[in-house]
């Protein structure tokens, strides 16, 4: 099986913003979308905002954890990327499966035809590796099945990023500054479970000088503790410039359980990073809940400890 050897990007590539009438290609690199209503609601919202949609999606016909075979999922991705009508690629759903195909993606082809890649959860694999190997900024944002169930602020933030480009400053509300300080680095990360599964592989993310964003859902505290401890014992946390914690929820609607888990994660992270003294933020609006703001992965930024703003360094 042919795998693409890792390559180092020579420069930062920011895909052009979209405009009404542009086409968004929908792809399924991981798990199947079992709820047709969520897919159609997401597509409807994209079309209501003036975008055309290209997709070969069909409701899952079998009880499997993958949307299709590795070959079919990989070919779909390459086909949409090669399509001149498609200006951006948006994942239909996360789940699991990106790790099985990422090594066979032709990164050189991607670098020659910059397009937005959008998703989160298991799509964390593609967002970080495409960015690291091509220099192309990717978007940690909604998948199709989560788009219509995001709150109004998240939806507006998503479409503003698509059409207006990367803002100068991101001003999250209700941010918790768990450890003060100002730090500059490169925005990386996403789903904690997915990132830990990349350890020891050629597709491990670049930890050095990272402003690491972490979020997760449906994981008990002991599992989250185990993964965070593994990152610490593997020496990854000491290499960061700063740490940004999104939402950590138990996968249910119990408000007390959510708050308790969130604070347990904060306490453990502060314990593990005490010796490093870099800034740590909590309650950042990124994750599997209704509030999931979109972030540019690979963008240089500064965590401003005075204002609580994330300031992006624009490439000229």
The gap between the terminal CA atoms of the chain, to the nearest Å, is 39
Active-site annotation holds for 288: yes
* Measured distance CA(142)–CA(160) in Å, rounded: 13
Tokens of 88: 């951006």
As a whole number of angstroms, the distance between CA 274 and CA 106 comes to: 40
Question: How far from 107 is each of 2, 5, 8, 200, 240, CA to CA, in Å?
Answer: 13, 9, 11, 20, 26
Residue among 154, 215, 219, 294 flagged as catalytic: 215
Q: Are strands 280-282 and 242-249 parallel, antiparallel or unpaired?
A: parallel
Give the H/E segment covering residue 176: strand 176-179
| Catalytic residue, candidates 28, 121, 146, 294 | 121
Residue in 87, 140, 157, 288 annotated catalytic:
288
Contact 183, 212 (CB under 8 A): no
Burial class of residue 3 in the structure, from the number of CB atoms within 10 Å of its CB (0-12 exposed, 13-18 middle, 19+ buried): exposed
Nearest-CA neighbor of 92 among 123, 48, 135, 115? 123
Known catalytic residue at 215: yes
The residues that are catalytic are: 121, 215, 288
């Amino acid at each position: 099986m042919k795998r693409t050897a890792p390559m180092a990007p020579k420069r930062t590539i920011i895909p052009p913003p979209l405009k009404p009438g542009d086409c968004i290609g929908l792809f399924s690199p991981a798990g199947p979308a079992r709820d047709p209503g969520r897919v159609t609601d997401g597509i409807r919202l994209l079309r209501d905002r003036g975008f055309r949609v290209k997709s070969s999606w069909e409701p899952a016909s079998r009880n499997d954890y993958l949307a299709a075979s590795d070959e079919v999922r990989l070919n779909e991705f390459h086909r949409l990327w090669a399509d001149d009508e498609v200006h951006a690629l948006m994942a239909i759903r996360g789940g699991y499966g990106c790790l099985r195909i990422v090594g066979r993606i032709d990164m050189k082809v991607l670098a020659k035809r910059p397009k937005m890649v959008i998703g989160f959860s298991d799509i964390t694999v593609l967002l970080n590796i495409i960015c690291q190997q091509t220099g192309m900024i990717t978007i940690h944002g909604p998948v199709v099945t989560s788009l219509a169930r995001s709150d109004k602020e998240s939806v507006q933030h998503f479409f503003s990023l698509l059409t207006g480009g990367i803002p100068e400053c991101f001003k999250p509300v209700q941010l918790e500054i768990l450890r003060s300080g100002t730090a500059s680095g490169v925005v990386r990360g996403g789903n904690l479970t997915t990132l830990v599964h990349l350890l020891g592989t050629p597709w491990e993310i670049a930890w050095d000088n990272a402003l690491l964003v972490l979020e997760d859902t449906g994981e008990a505290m002991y599992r989250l503790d185990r993964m965070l401890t593994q990152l610490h014992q593997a020496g990854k946390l000491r290499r960061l410039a700063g740490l940004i914690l999104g939402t950590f929820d138990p996968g249910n609607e119990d408000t007390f359980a959510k708050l308790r888990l969130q604070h347990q994660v904060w306490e453990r992270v502060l314990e593990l990073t005490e010796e490093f003294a870099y800034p740590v933020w909590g309650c950042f609006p990124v994750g599997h809940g209704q509030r999931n703001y979109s972030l540019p992965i690979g963008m240089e930024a500064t965590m401003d400890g005075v204002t609580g703003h994330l300031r992006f360094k624009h490439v000229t």
